[in-house]
Structure 1
Amino acid sequence: MLDLALFAFVLFFLAIGVARPFLWVLAYVYIDILAPQKIGWTLTPLLPISLIAFVAAFAGWLFVDQKRDMRVHYRQGLMVLLLLWCWYTTGVSAFPVEAAHKWSWVWKALVFAIFLPFTLTTRLRMEALVLTIVLTVGAIVISAGLKTVGGGGGYESLYFFVNDNSGVYESSTLATVAIGSIPLIVWLMKHGTVFPPDWRVKLFGVALIFACMLIPIGTEARTGLLCIAVLAVLSLRSVKNRIAYICGAGLLALMALPFLPQSYYERMATIGSSQGDASASTRVAVWEWTLDYVKANPMGGGFDSYRANSFTYEMPVRTETGNTSSVEYVEVTDKARAFHSAYFELLGEQGYVGFAIWLALMLSGLVQMERLRRRYRKRMSANGGGADAVGGDAGIAQLATALQSGLVVYLVGAAFQGIGYQPVVFLLLGLQVALWNWCRRQDKPARHLVKRAHAASRRSDPTPDPAMP
């Protein structure tokens, strides 16, 4: 029955796109994140629904959408450069079969992110994309949160819609994406127009935020705890009463401590040290190998170049006998260990060139969103601090803040996971570009009037130019 309902919903989503082709863009986002073809077992795997939605999204924009508001941004150019560079390194990879498999989904994530800003030409469309991302991620988060509350959590034992430890369904990745989605949920609760912010929307938003906070607990992902801490610090910029916020956050944390399982405490205790944990020890060893590898291969080794690694390190093993414990260092040889860091993933696979492009893409997003945030908050203050619910100066400033905060959370989580090409993050990058372009279009008449007023004042100013003889 679930398979039939899911299949019918996907077909309905694609069918209504005939009347509104932009919905095909949202359909692809939904399919790309949720992967219903993996959830279903009979009907949904029959059709290549992801490919159908991908092609339909491009065709709908190409043949139906107006192109007068289309702008090409330099960050799209960075994505094109990264795409071309990944294509080049895939061709020269030492592991062509594995590299081709990874390339099969990386190129789609990059191409769609390059294409996305061309379709997001209105505020309503941008909000629709945010809503689709939040609700699709929310479907996974709510299910996992309910299992966590029911006692079904635990490291590598919290089951999602699919038994597939890849993409957004990887536990640490889901924890990062869930926490990074919280600022977008808050924005929809305050400035949404598709679902106006009444008590029902706010109640659902609060419940969804709670479910997102449960994911790091249910998955026991150490990265998730770091992401929560980073988001809590970033939120200090937006709250009105910081003292009350800090006290409230601390009180909630203390109230939650008695309900956390012992296994969660034990796993979180390994955050501060890499010596007593096998996972952390191998990560450090892989990172050291990657630095040596990229020195010998400055252009990178292509996708999955980590398969070439082999290293030996000392791993402390603690044994307990009665009330005494002893530590013995055992020499361990390992090979073909994954990078476990987006930074080292890009560095090892794409070399210095690809890593520089990727890092420029991320950092430029942080800078642009900060510029938008400050610009529209300044306007808000100049207008008396009024915040409208439909997303004027206040809405744009908070959307820029949400996109910036989500990217910061990703960059923190990416330090400990190989998620350098995570499609959800590239969707946010495309949304950032669209928001920047949209704001520039909205500000263009105002800039034109300012220039005209400045030119008129210069013509009417009788003061002679001191540079003239």
Structure 2
Amino acid sequence: MRDIAVTLAVFGSLPFILRRPWIGILVWTWLGFMNPHRMAWGFSTTMPFAMIVALTTLIAMLFSKEEKRIPWERETVVLVLFTGWMFITTIFAVYSELAWLQFEKVIKIQLMILVAMMLITTPQRLKLLVWTIALSLAFYGVKGGIFTILHGGVFRVQGPPGTFIGGNNEIGLALAMTIPLLYFLARSIDQKWLLRSGIYAATVLTALGAIGTQSRGALLGMAAMGLMFWLKSRQKVLVALLAAASVFAVVQVMPEAWYERMHTIQSYEEDKSAMGRVNAWWMAFNLAKDRPLGGGFETFQRGMFALYAPDPTNSRDVHSVYFEVLGEHGFFGLALFLLLAVLTWRSAGAVARAVKKVPERAWMGDLATMVQVSLIAYFAAGAFLGMAYFDYYYNLVLIIVIVKAILHREGLLGDAKVGRAGDASPAPGLSTPIGPVPDRSAAARARAG
């Protein structure tokens, strides 16, 4: 029954995608984040739904009369450079066959990110994209939170098998990143207290679900995210109440074994798993020093540990976004990866400042701020998780690029450089608005200051 339901939903969306290609981005995002076919047991588990939707979207784009242009914000430029660098490192990868298989997965994500930049061109489409991302993962958050309560936190919350978020560590990171977006959605709902209350409840359950994964990396991500959440929120009392509700639930539900496991964060020298990660980090560093291009995708194999690791006999996954990129793509690849994050962060701050006095676009500032909080969750937990190519991170970049492009079109971002202190404007030559720039009326000029 589940197989039939998912199949009907996907194929039923194709006619709508052919008429409106941007719907294909929403369906692709739903499939990529929620992976509904992985919850079935029959033929749909192996159906290439994402490929079918992607091809339909690309075909629909060819016949669509809408103007399609990549918004060349500085984040877009760095993203393309990073993708190009990964292509180069794949050509010279140590484990060529494995590297090309991984590159194929990565390039599909980056291609659809660029397609989304061309198709998600209005505030309404952007809102629907954020709803799709948040609710797709909130499904697992609510489910995981209830599961944790019912079983007293004895069992770990897991994600859908065979996906980016299949393991407890991975789903824990994804749920931590989703909490800020859920909060944004709840705050953006007007005069619908029941729906807003439901989203707040989902936020608390998602937090509990993240804790229920028993992932130490997710716990660190939650802690860093929670602090930034409170600092960035304009409703600090409400955020504090939500945090208190989450902490109370954790105290009431989680067993003693969970506290013992989390306590090992402080004594990582005695933890074989933690020391194995440190060994892999040193291997990545030594490899990058010896090979400027890195080892290419999937380089963390026994042979490379034998050459570059302090303990050649202890080979394991790298479990860190930073050292994963460093080992696979070298110091230059890591610089591009981090530059993308820094630029996205600064642009989000610039957006928040630019719309501060524009009531009809204030929600974009709130969204940009919550994207910053999600980035903190990703990079804090990602220090201990090998999720450098997680599509969630690149969708956060996508959101900021779309917001900037819309604001450029509306004349609410100027022509000076974005990212300077107190400035909310894009770098010259790196920002292209989506579609023609309309003439700014006197009212628009007044709103923009």
TM-score normalised per structure 1: 0.82
Q: Are 1:309 and 2:274 counterparts?
A: no
Match in the other structure for 1:86: 86
The one-letter amino acid of 1:309's match is F
Report the CA distance shift for 1:61/1:292 in structure 2 as closer, same or farther (over 3 A): same
Identify the match of residue 418 of structure 1 among 376, 386, 389: 386
Aligned equivalents of 1:254, 1:208: Cα separation in 2: 16
Aligned equivalents of 1:259, 1:159: Cα separation in 2: 17
Match in the other structure for 2:291: 297
Does the CA contact (< 8 Å) of 1:172 and 1:221 recur in 2? yes
Match in the other structure for 1:163: 161
Question: 436-445 or 109-118, which moves further after superposition?
Answer: 436-445
Report the CA distance shift for 1:251/1:169 in structure 2 as closer, same or farther (over 3 A): closer
Question: 198-207 or 437-446, which moves further after superposition?
Answer: 437-446
The one-letter amino acid of 1:179's match is A
Deviation sequence 1:406-450 (CA, Å, 0-9, x none): 112111111111111101211221121111111111126899568
Aligned equivalents of 2:148, 2:107: Cα separation in 1: 35
Q: CA deviation at 1:375?
A: 2.2
Q: CA deviation at 1:69?
A: 6.8
Aligned equivalents of 1:140, 1:217: Cα separation in 2: 13
Match in the other structure for 2:408: 440
Deviation sequence 1:22-56 (CA, Å, 0-9, x none): 21111111112223343333331464211111112
RMSD (Å) for aligned C-alpha atoms: 2.8
Q: Are 1:345 and 2:324 counterparts?
A: yes
- Secondary structure of 1:167's match? coil
The one-letter amino acid of 2:161's match is N
Aligned equivalents of 1:215, 1:256: Cα separation in 2: 10
- Secondary structure of 1:127's match? helix
Match in the other structure for 2:123: 123
Match in the other structure for 2:112: 112
Match in the other structure for 2:363: 395
The one-letter amino acid of 1:281's match is M
* Structure 2 gaps, min length 5: 413-436
Aligned equivalents of 1:150, 1:184: Cα separation in 2: 26
Alignment of 1:232-243 (within 5 A): 232-240=226-234, 242=236
Aligned equivalents of 1:247, 1:152: Cα separation in 2: 23
Of all paired residues, the percent bearing the same amino acid is 23
Higher strand residue share? 1
Match in the other structure for 1:286: 280
Which one has the largest radius of gyration?
A: 1
Aligned equivalents of 1:423, 1:108: Cα separation in 2: 10
Q: Are 1:277 and 2:271 counterparts?
A: yes
Q: CA deviation at 1:64?
A: 1.0
- Secondary structure of 2:268's match? coil
Aligned equivalents of 2:283, 2:126: Cα separation in 1: 42
Match in the other structure for 1:32: 32
Does the CA contact (< 8 Å) of 2:68 and 2:119 recur in 1? no
Aligned equivalents of 2:239, 2:370: Cα separation in 1: 18
- Secondary structure of 2:20's match? coil
Aligned equivalents of 1:453, 1:207: Cα separation in 2: 41
Match in the other structure for 1:316: none
Identify the match of residue 199 of structure 1 among 168, 193, 215: 193
Match in the other structure for 1:230: 224
Aligned equivalents of 2:395, 2:317: Cα separation in 1: 24
Identify the match of residue 220 of structure 1 among 202, 214, 229: 214
Report the CA distance shift for 1:45/1:255 in structure 2 as closer, same or farther (over 3 A): closer
Aligned equivalents of 2:31, 2:390: Cα separation in 1: 15
Aligned equivalents of 2:146, 2:445: Cα separation in 1: 59
Match in the other structure for 1:318: none
- Secondary structure of 1:340's match? coil
Does the CA contact (< 8 Å) of 2:280 and 2:315 recur in 1? no
